[in-house]
Every structure is written in structure tokens, then in C-alpha cells.
A and B are shown apart, each in its own frame.
Chain A
Amino acid sequence: MKTEYSSVSTKITLVTLLLGMLLLVLGILAISTGSTGSNIAEILDIFIGKGDTDSIGATIVWQIRLPRVIMAATVGGTLALGGLVFQALLRNPLAEPYILGISGGSAIGAILGMLLGLAHFPGVTIFAFGGSIAVLSVVILLASRTMGNVALSKDSLLLGGVMMNAFCAAIIMFLISMVRTFQVQHILFWLMGDLSLIKSSQLPILLIVIPCFIAIFILARPMNLLLLGRETAAAMGINVRAVIMVLLIVTSLMVSVVVSFSGLIGFVGLVIPHIFRLIVGPDHRVLVPACILGGASYLVLCDLLARVLPSSGEMPVGIITALIGAPLFIFLLLRNKR
């Protein structure tokens, strides 16, 4: 036998190391870039505790840039992973992390929070999270009741989610049409996705998100089998119902959490899973770490561009994600056609 299989664990290690390094490099770059213009050497000094720890530079790094980079990485990783899971679960390449009603629900919550004059954190965040969970629960409950004995069928989940999002979109339009002009920009920034309001006090969300990452990695192999169809997966020993339920809950939870902080950053969750499927293949044991680290790197890069590209102020990061992502994906698709 000369066929040499590249062992899965080797692939996982390789992908994790390479993308981990990419994330680190982009992270350092993002931390050392900004309006006050510290350079990389200074940043490294600050990191190893050399020099004045109370200097303005140190404060900017520790209190503003580092939390923001960590947050961008967390959001990017979560959205990419969320998209990956929903694409597998719904067996639909157009699925993205917001598809089960998360975008509609969290947006209504966030806008209501803003209209009530609440602060971004915790007020608006909690409202957004609540809205997301409420709509998700409706979609999941509907899907588990409809279509006879095929509970949680992909079609009923998909249709339920799309309908709820459409319904929520109408309410969002209504709310926007009612508000005064100065609030509109605030709302629009949230809808486009915006990381400029991140503070270090919000970083404990990692404690919720990271266990979700681990749970999904453990279920990566069953996810491979789910791609073949539920009956085939069951015939190979997978407890399909349990796997689907856990994946649904865990993914919905982590996406709802990050969205309530970051707003609806689009495109990361749709395109990053596809990009890595083109590069590393359809095995979820490789795709899960690839999407977490790749999505994280991508959003750190996009957020960096969103900060430095405009001559004054910032633009919402959601604009950059699609602006780069769509052409990149089309390029990879064409190249992959062979």
C-alpha cells in the first residue's frame, strides 16, 4: 500500500499552528497601529513590562487596543464557527450564523435598548441577547413541533428562521421610521456591526464562548456524518437527535452572546467556512479550529482596516468584511474549479 493518508491529527496541528501564528502577527500589528502611533518595539516593551507602566502608551494598549483586538478575534472566531455549524446542520451552503432568527431578534432588542436610552453595556447588550434568545426559542420550538415525526428537520428550521427574520425586519423598519435622526446613525452602526464600543470589562464573555468552542470541537466528527444525511449518520452509530440539539443550543448561545456586543457583523460567518472548506476539505475536525482561528484573524484584520482607512473617525467593520470577503471568495472559487 503506497497510499499515504495525511493523518487527521497532523492536519489539525498544522492548521492550528499556522493560523495561530497568523492571528498572533495580525494581533500585534493591530495593537501597534492607531491614531497615537506607537510602534511595534514600544508595544513589545509594554508587554514585557519594561518602561513606564502608567504611561499613556501603556494605558492605550492595555485598556483600549488589546481588549478590542481580543474582542474582534472572539467575535470573528465565533461567527465563522457558527456559520460552519449551521451550514452542516442545515446542510445548506447559504446558511450563516444569523439564519435562525438571531439577527432579527437581537436587532429588535438592541434598538429597543437604544430607544430606551440605555448604555451600550450592559443595557443594550442585555436587550440584544434577550431578543436573540426569544426569537431562537420560537424558531426551535416551531421546528420541533412541525412536520410530523421528523422533529427539527432542516427545512422547518430554515424556513422558520427566515420567516422570523423577515418578520423582525419589518418591526426594525418600523422602529427606525419612528426615531429621530440623531439616533438613526447609532442604530445603523449597530446593524452593520461595530466594535468601537468595546471595553475591557466585557472580556469575560470569553468564559462563555470558549467552552462552546470546545463542545463543538468534540462534536466535529458527528458533524461530518450529519453531512451525509441523518439516517446515514444514525446507521453509523450517531445519536442524531442529541447531537443536533446540543449543536443548536451551543451555537445559538455563543452567537447570541457575541452579537449582543458587536452588532450584526456580516459575511464572516458565511464566507470563512467556505474559504476553509476550499482549502482544507470538508472534515470538521480540521474545519472547527481553522474557522475559529481563521475567522478571528480575518476580523482582527478587517477591524484594523476599519480603524485606519477612514481619514477621520472609523467605519463600521461590517463594511470591510464584505468588501474584502466577497472578491476573495470568488477568486478562490474560480481558482478551485481547475
Chain B
Amino acid sequence: MNAILDIRNICLQYEGNFILDTISCQVEKGEFFVIIGPNGAGKTSLLKIIAGLEKTDNGSVVCKGKKLVDYNRRELSQVIAMVPQHVDTNFPFTVAETVLMGRTPHLGLLGLESRNDYLLAETAMQFTDIVHLADRRLDQISGGELQRVIIARAICQQPEIVLLDEPTAALDPAHQLKVMDLMEKFRQEQDTTIIMVSHDLNLASLYGDRLLLLKEGRVMKTGTPAEVLSVELLRESYGCEMLVDENPLGKGTRVTPVPSKFLETSKTDDQKV
């Protein structure tokens, strides 16, 4: 097995409740791996544990054959980059300054960037199409642009694994696609591993190689989108009715949540699927 990340029996408790209960899974190098599940299922906690930002009560995460706890912060940040859900623009840096911060785990003691660091930041900004924004402040750009800036910062970090926490949550469809296409392109060019937490089951299906479905801190299912996105599993985990069929592109699974007012008529369709 060529797993870049091996998650073994992770448990996380908070005040006696299991946030995560014996989670195990493996992520292959170059894989697009999506963690899905209802609110409070433990998706973000799992992502933070993988990023080394939260400790586990039990179990371990092995990254490139070495336990996460044996990495120091700097070493780990050279391997894993994180695109957080929320970005604070209270003390607004410019776009270029923000992207350049991605070089942090590669800099020396005084933290002065070299010519090469500037070049890498430039490349990352070209890649995410934000060069024209370089001198703008973070509080002067749109949400979609901000997300691309944060992704550029992660790319600039030259990681082997990128973690994304609901990167498309606040974006319009065009920006959702733009962000996802960027990650897909980055993965193909650099053979980077992508691990994403998402509520958007259709994006998960369209881009993910494999999905991990969580419910109340437990793994419901790991597998390809077709395997995980079944009516029964979705009903059991999310607790609502969803229709599952092939998407009109003819490539993959489509999920349609059913509002309660359509529930009676959809029962029959449900049987057909």
C-alpha cells in the first residue's frame, strides 16, 4: 500500500462524549479525498487532527511512515497545508504578503524571504489567477477572491497534502467550480493529496476519488462516490430523504435532497432508483 496518510483508531472525547469514535482510514498519495457527514459529525475535528492542530485521546495518525506526534510544527507544515474555513481580515495584509506567508515553514531564523520565495509566491498567484490583486488588501476583495488567495498561500507552502475545510461554503456556483478546478489542477500537476471537508455532496461526488461518510463521530462508509452516496446510507446519516441518480453529465452520482412537501410523490421514485 502506498498510503501517504494512515489514520488508525482515532478517538477524541470532549466532556465524556465521543467527538470521534475509533476512526480508521487510509489516504493514498495523489488522491482527492472528501469527508462528508451532517453538522456535528466530527468532520472538522478530524481535519484538525490530521493537521496536527488537535491532539487525539487514542489512536494515531501516520504521515509518510512517521507518526504525527513525532513531527515538530515546522516539519509538519512543510508536508501539510491547511485552508481554514474562516479567514480573519482584522489586520489586513495585502494579497501578495498573505501568499508569501505560506513560505513560513521553509524560512530561516530571521524569516526574511529570498528571491526564490518571491518567485514561488508569484507562481502561486499566477496559478490561482490573482496576480492582478497582488497589492490589494484582504478586506478589499470578494469572498471568492479571498478563497483563491488562501489557496495560493497553501500552494506556496509546497505541501504534499492540502486540507480544505468547506472551501466552497460561501461561494457562488462559478466560484465553487473555479476553486474546485484549481485544486484538481494542482493535484494533477504536483501529485498532491487533497483532503476536503464538504457539505456539498454533488461537488464531493464530481471531484472526489473516495468519500468518507461520518455520523456522530463514527465512520459510516468509505469508498467511491457511487458506493457511499446511496439512499439508505444518506438517510441513516443525515436523517433526511435524498434522491440518488446518475448526473446528466453521465459521469457520476447526483444527489437531490427532497423537501418534505415533495415527500409523498417521491416515495414512488425512490423505489425506482
Contact = CB atoms under 8 A, between A and B. Distances in A.
Interface of A: 1, 3, 5, 7-9, 88, 91, 93, 218, 220-222, 224-225, 227-229, 231-232, 234-240, 277, 281-283, 285
A98 to B, nearest CB: 21
Contact of A231 (B80, B84, B97, B110): B84
Contact of B84 (A220, A221, A222, A229): A229
A229 B91 CA distance: 11
The residue in A88, A235, A236, A281 that gathers the most chain B C-beta atoms within 10 A of its C-beta is A235
Contacts, number: 91
23 contacts: A1-B122, A3-B96, A5-B118, A7-B118, A8-B113, A221-B110, A222-B111, A225-B101, A227-B88, A231-B84, A232-B84, A232-B88, A236-B77, A236-B101, A236-B157, A237-B76, A237-B78, A239-B74, A281-B94, A281-B97, A282-B97, A283-B97, A285-B111
Nearest to A242: B73
Interface residues of B, number: 40
Contacts of A7: 118
B90 interface: yes
A238 B48 contact: no
B111 A236 contact: no
B135 A3 contact: yes
Interface in B74-93: 74, 76-78, 80-82, 84, 86-88, 90-93
A220 B84 CA distance: 23
A323 to B, nearest CB: 28
A282 B88 contact: no
A19 B104 CA distance: 28
Contacts of A237: 73-74, 76-78, 104-105
A235 B84 contact: yes
B131 A225 contact: no
B112 A228 contact: no
A127 B163 CA distance: 52
Interface in B211-242: none
B78 A231 contact: no
The residue in B52, B94, B111 that gathers the most chain A C-beta atoms within 10 A of its C-beta is B111
Given A5-B118, A221-B107, A283-B97, A232 B82 contact: yes
B88 A235 contact: no
B182 to A, nearest CB: 19
